[in-house]
Amino acid sequence: MHPKLPPAEYTWETIRSKEFLSTARKIITASVPVGMNIVSVQHVRSSHYAAYRVSTEDGSWLVRIGLIAPEDSAAVDNSGFLGTSTTIPSGQKREKIVAEGYREFGGQVVAPSHYIDVDGLDILWIPLIKDNGIDIDAEGWAQALNSLTYFIPEESEAAVFTNRTKSMNRLERLPKEMALTLKREYDEKLSRFFDVSTRWSLVHGDAHALNAMNTGDGVILFDFDTVCWAPSVWDATHLINRAGKEKHASYSVDTLTTLLEVTPREVSAALELRRVAARISVEYSARGTQHPFVS
């Protein structure tokens, strides 16, 4: 049995604060898989989730703590590119289910080993795998992302959580006239994109170097809370935006697009759509608005 914690009121702000560490230690102890003993807990970073490195007698783990919203415990309808939806719970529980599906069908992924909710918090245990410290090149990205195509359920069963969903959530908090203008522009770009690209697959949805690691034997992906059924070029545009910069310095746009087999027209259309989403995000952030489901 896990120890019962006293009732508490948490917010995203308290979870991400430095002062949360002492509380996090108690929460992690309360969430540890049965039979494991904790040796140490170290704060790693707080971005969307608060992340901790936990050493146990059985190995090392990355433990992420988030806040459970009412929608996380029920079926959710995250309308995406095709208007499809998912009955998989949102939040980190959903991420565990999706990642396990990818791994079962041959995807090069790190699947979380343990999920539990404790005292209204969303807690995910992810096994730590050693990164060899070498940046991921275009071939590594292509192999890792192409491995995801092994897991292709029916569209109606695909886990959908797209940029459009997040962008539309943000629009709800903007002045009405501005929101309508940006929504119209986004939908016009989306419509144009349909005319350009008809190849679809399950995509990672947030491909960048902090969501992947090079083990030396291949690139392994993780962080699956934005996996969606989308145009196949979607992951490529994440990487193209970062090509040649920092941890993405080891590949060029030309090499990447060749290996991922995407056309210049597809890339151009997808990047255009992303620019509108970025403008929505900028307007949203300028007003100091925070939304619990937006990372």
Per-residue pLDDT tens for 47-64?
778 999 999 988 899 999
Q: Give the H/E segment covering residue 266.
A: helix 264-286
**Residue 102 · residue 151 · CB < 8 Å:** yes
What DSSP letter does each residue of 191-238 carry, written as one string? HHHHHH---EEEE-S--SGGGEEE-SS-EEE---TT-EEEETTHHHHH
Write the single-letter amino acid at 87: T
**Residue 111 · residue 148 · CB < 8 Å:** no
> How far apart (Å, rounded) are the C-alpha atoms in residues 244 and 246?
7
> How far apart (Å, rounded) are the C-alpha atoms in residues 177 and 85?
28
> How far apart (Å, rounded) are the C-alpha atoms in residues 129 and 147?
19
Q: What is the pLDDT of residue 164?
A: 62
Q: What is the pLDDT of residue 166?
A: 63
Helices 264-286, 234-242: crossing angle, 10 deg rounding: 70
> How far apart (Å, rounded) are the C-alpha atoms in residues 226 and 224?
5
Closest among 125, 102, 94, 122 to 112, alpha carbons compared: 125
The pLDDT tens digits along the chain (295 residues) read 444 444 467 888 888 888 888 889 999 998 998 888 999 999 998 877 899 999 998 889 999 998 876 554 444 333 333 333 344 566 788 788 878 878 887 888 898 999 998 878 889 999 998 888 899 999 999 999 988 876 655 443 444 445 566 667 777 778 889 989 988 888 888 777 767 766 777 788 888 998 899 998 899 998 877 777 677 888 898 899 899 999 899 999 999 999 988 888 888 888 888 888 788 878 877 775 443 333 3
How many Cα atoms within 13 Å fall on the side-chain side of residue 133? Answer: 0
Q: What is the pLDDT of residue 262?
A: 87
> How far apart (Å, rounded) are the C-alpha atoms in residues 206 and 235?
7
Burial category of 55 from C-beta neighbours within 10 Å (exposed 0-12, middle 13-18, buried 19 and up): middle
Q: What is the pLDDT of residue 155?
A: 46
Q: What is the pLDDT of residue 256?
A: 93
Q: What is the pLDDT of residue 213?
A: 92
For 173, which DSSP code? T
Q: What structural domains does the chain harbor?
A: 138-286 (3.90.1200.10)
Q: What is the pLDDT of residue 79?
A: 33
